Amino acid sequence: MKKQNKQWYRIGEVARKLDIAVETIRMYEREGILLIEKTATGQRIFTNEDLNWLRCIRKLIKEERLNIEGIRRLLAMMPCWKIRPCSIEERSECPAFNGAMQPCWTMKEKIPLTCRAQNCRECSVYQTAAHCENIKEIVYNAYRVTDSRREG
């Protein structure tokens, strides 16, 4: 399937290529750890980036022994305020900054208008989270307390 110079796959193809049940893929989306584009008729369509993120999810589950909840929490801890710098005022009103248990794209309506993305799939926060094999490192580094006398 093609659409503007870009390769797209339907859920069945993805399931076959990655050996994941179609139902499982839909569940990942329901659980908020995956955001998928849909056609006007409601059909999910996947890009190569989506496939890569799905492979990462499988790896986190099989090798890092995380479950959906664990992945969701990891995603919820993405340092969005560093990826998309925001003001003190915005932060005070933002559930994503104030220790949310869900990724920001699952509570789009509660994100400050000044930061809210029109399309979360195109937002750098989602793209950073959903394409990275080393998401744990990103999160750990973002929260690590550094010694200001020796670093930064």
Partner DNA sequence: ATTCTGACA
Partner DNA sequence: TGTCAGCA
Q: Which residues contribute to the site for DNA (CB under 7 A)? A: 10-13, 21-24, 26-27, 38, 41-44
Q: Closest CB to DNA among 42 and 99? A: 42
SS3 111: coil
Burial of 16 (0-12, 13-18, 19+ CB in 10 A): exposed
Compute the half-sphere exposure of residue 31: CA atoms within 13 Å on the CB side of its CA: 16
Shortest distance, CB of residue 90 to DNA, whole angstroms? Answer: 31
Shortest distance, CB of residue 75 to DNA, whole angstroms? Answer: 17
Gap between the Cα atoms of 100 and 15, Å rounded: 31
Q: Token pair for residue 76?
A: 């919820």
Q: Closest CB to DNA among 42 and 152? A: 42
Q: Closest CB to DNA among 12 and 114? A: 12
Shortest distance, CB of residue 48 to DNA, whole angstroms? Answer: 17
Q: Closest CB to DNA among 26 and 116? A: 26
Shortest distance, CB of residue 128 to DNA, whole angstroms? Answer: 25
Q: Compute CA distances 75 → 54, 79, 126, 130, 139, whole Å.
A: 14, 9, 9, 9, 8
Burial of 134 (0-12, 13-18, 19+ CB in 10 A): exposed
Shortest distance, CB of residue 54 to DNA, whole angstroms? Answer: 11
Q: Closest CB to DNA among 22 and 83? A: 22
